[in-house]
Amino acid sequence: MNASERLPLLLREMRQAAGEARQMLGDRSFEEFERDLVLQRAIDMTLLIVAEAASQVTVKAPEFVAEHPDIPWTAMRGMRNRMAHGYLSVNLRVVYEAALVEAPALAATLDGILNRYAQGE
Q: Which of 6, 12, 80, 93 is catalytic?
A: 80
Active site residue 68: no
From CA 14, how far away is CA 113, in angstroms rounded?
A: 12
User: What string of H, E and C letters represents the secondary structure of 94-114?
Assistant: HHHHHHHHHHHHHHHHHHHHH
Is 116 within 8 Å of 84 (Cβ atoms)?
no
Angle value at C-alpha 78, between 14 and 97, nearest 5 degrees: 65
Active site residue 15: no
Catalytic residue set: 80, 85
